[in-house]
Amino acid sequence: MDERLKGVWPALLTPMNEAGRPDIAELEKWLDVLISQGMDGLYLLGSTGQGFLLGEAERKKVTEVAASVNGGQVPLIIQVGSMTTGESVRLAQHAAGCNVDGISSVAPVYYGSSDGSSAMALKHYESIASATDLPFFPYQLGTSGFSDGLVGFVNKLLQLPNMAGMKLTTNNLLEISTISYSSRGKLTLFSGADELMCHAALCGTSGAIGSFYNVFGPECQFVRNSFMEGNVALATDFMLIFQEMIAEVLPNVWTFFRQAIRLRYEVDIGPAIPPVGNTNRPWKEEKVVALLERIINAAKVNEPNESK
């Protein structure tokens, strides 16, 4: 198991132009920012990166640019799931050619096995996992919704080739624990719920992949590392403030991301691709600044890390 595949990973926001296509110049600038921060890795083209709304050629271009700018500095995992298994396989093979560090995929979208089992998802995953030698990180969605249950589903996933871990898109800590103990330490697990970054570590996760780490990557990395080293007081104080901020921001999250990143990093990620974010309202600049300052101050990045 690759020991680098852990820690705090931004689910990369893909910069878009006004036409809803990838803005390569801003993408290069944005990658430079996140890589220079020393983030533990980058997760590309998931829902935060709007990968499902892009064409196959555009997704390949984003992967190529990221691999080129990165030059092996931090690990990269590419989300290759799409509406068809064939496209997912091609994207996986392309990612392997770009020398990234792993691939990830959601289960089939809109379709499921008629008997309620996990057969269709597992067949889809097997085709993707078999297409390359890259470590494979499928999604976990809720309780999986399959008749064989979560433990049964995990046991079947463990039989897949190149199975390395999972991206857990759940805010249910019991589900995270269930996946952790049922995988018997064979899987590297990433929490996908930003608001459970520290909590999920108690349930066996090795890292966290999230949208808000685009804006607050250094702060979240510092707090999670501090928590793992025993600073529970800092983590408790920070996570309560962080959760409150997330709850306030979510109704207009896409406009917040754009305005916050432009203010803090001078990068314009552009508008979301409709229908994503089509009801989001712009924020007053002073409110965005206040939210930025609140989270930055809560992390106490510049203070000594003393266990309490």
Q: Region 247-268: what's the mean pLDDT?
A: 98
Q: pLDDT tens-digit profile of 73-106?
A: 999 999 999 999 999 999 999 999 999 999 999 9
As annotated, the active-site residues are 139, 167
Q: Return all residues near 163 (Cβ < 8 A) that are at least 6 apart.
A: 129, 136, 138, 157, 186, 187
Q: Count other C-beta atoms under 10 Å from residue 40's C-beta.
A: 22
pLDDT at 218: 97
Q: Check pLDDT > 50 for residue 110.
A: yes
pLDDT at 305: 47
Contacts 24+ apart (CB under 8 A), 86-90: 87/56, 88/124, 88/127, 88/128, 89/127, 89/128, 89/131, 90/56
Q: Write down the mean pLDDT value for the chain.
A: 92
Percent of the chain with pLDDT strictly greater than 70: 91
pLDDT at 245: 98
pLDDT at 118: 78
Q: Which fold has domain 7-299?
A: TIM Barrel (3.20.20)
Q: Region 281-306: what's the mean pLDDT?
A: 86
Show the tokens assigned to 161. 């080739």
Q: pLDDT tens-digit profile of 146-198?
A: 456 888 889 999 999 999 999 998 999 999 999 999 998 899 999 999 999 99
Percent of the chain with pLDDT strictly greater than 90: 84
8 Å CB contact between 74 and 41:
yes
pLDDT at 247: 98
Regarding predicted confidence, which is higher, 274 or 184?
274
**Order of strands, sheet of 42-44, starting from the edge strand that comes earlier in the sequence:** 7-10, 207-210, 188-191, 165-169, 136-141, 102-105, 76-79, 42-44
Show the tokens assigned to 269. 């990620």
What's 147-168 look like in SS3?
CCHHHHHHHHHCCCCCECEEEE
Q: What is the residue extent of each domain of the chain?
A: 7-299
Contacts 24+ apart (CB under 8 A), 106-109: 106/79, 106/81, 106/138, 106/139, 106/141, 107/81, 107/138, 107/139, 107/141, 109/52, 109/81, 109/83
* pLDDT confidence band for 301 (50 / 70 / 90): low
Regarding predicted confidence, which is higher, 179 or 3?
179
pLDDT at 3: 81
Q: Check pLDDT > 70 for residue 70.
A: yes
8 Å CB contact between 189 and 201:
no
pLDDT at 147: 55
